[in-house]
């Protein structure tokens, strides 16, 4: 899979928070739904990973029948056991809220850079013997309470500050596909 992407990357690390379905799958082979708990990294507060089908497709050698089999069992039972993890080149790390705060503090102290809670998860367990690239996923200004708790300062972004000054506009429409489609068609610019 990794060579197919056109770059000689030795591996990928999937970083997650305490809602760790992907970590459990990649370390123990256990892809099973568990209760979701609110966390400092809310975009990771999931149980069914988006694009999981695509991941399975490429890691199974593009075996669509295998993907259908796995997803059918998962849909029926909320679980699939892969047995021994078999995703070469893909590892995982997991960070709970206290670790996220500590990582934000550490990255800030070491690099004078403020990471958001999601990106902080990517810094967990980095290999010290090679270079790593951590992809930032959000601006820290979107998480003022977590950043304030971790490093004691406010982080802002001009675009977010402008949005804060605008009035909140709500349009109540009925929750059916046709009404939503019509609303978008009339109001999209």
Which tens digits make up the pLDDT trace of 166-181? 999 999 999 999 999 9
Q: Is the separation of the CB atoms in 93 and 23 below 8 Å?
A: yes
**Chain centroid to CA 145:** 20
Residues of the chain with pLDDT under 50: 1
For residue 23, give the 3-state DSSP assignment.
helix
Q: What are the structural domains of the chain?
A: 3-165 (3.40.50.1100)
C-alpha distances (whole Å) from 143 to each of 41, 174, 183 are 9, 31, 31
pLDDT digits (tens, 9 = 90+) for 12-37: 899 999 999 999 999 999 999 999 99
- Cβ atoms of 161 and 143 within 8 Å: the answer is no
Q: What is the pTM of this model?
A: 0.81
Question: How many whole angstroms separate alpha carbon 140 and alpha carbon 5?
Answer: 30
């Amino acid at each position: 899979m990794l060579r197919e992407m056109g770059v000689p990357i030795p591996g990928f690390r999937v970083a997650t928070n305490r809602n760790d379905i992907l970590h459990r799958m990649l370390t123990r082979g256990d892809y099973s739904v568990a209760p979701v708990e609110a966390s400092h990294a809310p975009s990771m507060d999931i149980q069914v990973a988006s694009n999981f089908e695509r991941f399975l497709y490429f890691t199974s050698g593009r075996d669509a029948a295998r993907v259908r089999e796995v997803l059918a069992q998962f849909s029926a039972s909320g679980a699939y056991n892969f047995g021994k993890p078999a995703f070469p080149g893909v590892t995982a790390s997991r960070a709970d809220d206290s670790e996220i705060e500590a990582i934000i503090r550490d990255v800030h102290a070491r690099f004078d850079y403020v990471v958001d809670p999601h990106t902080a998860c990517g810094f967990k367990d980095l290999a010290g013997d090679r270079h790593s690239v951590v992809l930032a996923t959000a601006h820290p200004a979107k998480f003022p309470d977590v950043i304030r708790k971790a490093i004691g300062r406010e982080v802002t972004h001009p675009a977010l500050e402008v949005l804060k000054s605008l009035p909140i506009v709500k349009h109540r429409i009925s929750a059916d596909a046709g009404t939503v489609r019509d609303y978008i068609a009339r109001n999209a610019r």
